[in-house]
Amino acid sequence: MITGPGGPFEVGDEFISYPDSEDVPHHQGVTYKVFKSGPQTIRDFFDLAKTRGFLERDFLVYEDERYTFGQTYTLAGELANIMKNNLGVNKGDHVAILSRNCPEYIIAFIAITSIGAIAVPMNSWWTAEELRYGLENSDSKCKYSLPTINSVLIFIHSDLLRRATVRCSC
């Protein structure tokens, strides 16, 4: 059995608690089903491509574009560097992603999470009022968006637009 004892996706129980964080729901602990041999952190997951020799393999295919694992992680690293060093995004900061489904969305997600920030996906089909609500309530320090989406953001109150913006084109 693939998820049974000794299988590649063996499942087991793990107790996870946050004893020093009383503001976190279930801070006293909850038992979860986890993959025993899977990556323990998102960073471990990103490192799998390197450790398994996948850097030259296709990772993203979008229309006529192809990105290898290596290319994707290089682009994500460059974006993470900009976010951290130029925009001041740090571990624990929320970063909103306003994008349609395209490679840049995935690259932004990897960049954000690789520096320990929290990716906050926003629906690119939202109206200006819905985007305002999402940005106001997500506590996002920065937003990552496509140029076409920025035209919708013009209708959002100017206080929200004072936050840093990273734009891409895809």
pLDDT on residue 143: 65
3-state helix, strand, coil in the chain (%, to 5): 35, 25, 40
- Return mean pLDDT, the chain: 78
Does 152 share its domain with 103? Answer: yes
Does 74 share its domain with 33? Answer: no
Distance between CA 159 and CA 7 in Å, rounded?
Answer: 53
Does 24 share its domain with 88? Answer: no
Which of 54-63, 106-115, 127-136 comes out lowest in average pLDDT?
127-136
pLDDT on residue 127: 80
Here the tokens at position 155 are: 């209708």
Give me the CATH number covering residue 136. Answer: 3.40.50.980
Structural domains of the chain, count: 2
Give the pairing type, strands 164-167 and 140-145: parallel
Does 76 share its domain with 13? Answer: no
pLDDT > 90 in the chain, percent: 15
Here the tokens at position 124 are: 């690119």
Does 72 share its domain with 135? Answer: yes
Nearest alpha-carbon partner for 102 in 82, 124, 86: 124
Does 57 share its domain with 94? Answer: yes
Does 79 share its domain with 12? Answer: no
Q: Is residue 145 predicted with pLDDT exceeding 70?
A: no
Does 7 share its domain with 87? Answer: no
**Range of 117's domain?**
44-167
Does 15 share its domain with 49? Answer: no
Does 48 share its domain with 122? Answer: yes
pLDDT on residue 55: 94
Distance between CA 70 and CA 113 in Å, rounded?
Answer: 17
Residue 46, classed as helix, strand or coil, is helix
pLDDT on residue 16: 80
Does 123 share its domain with 149? Answer: yes
Does 66 share its domain with 144? Answer: yes
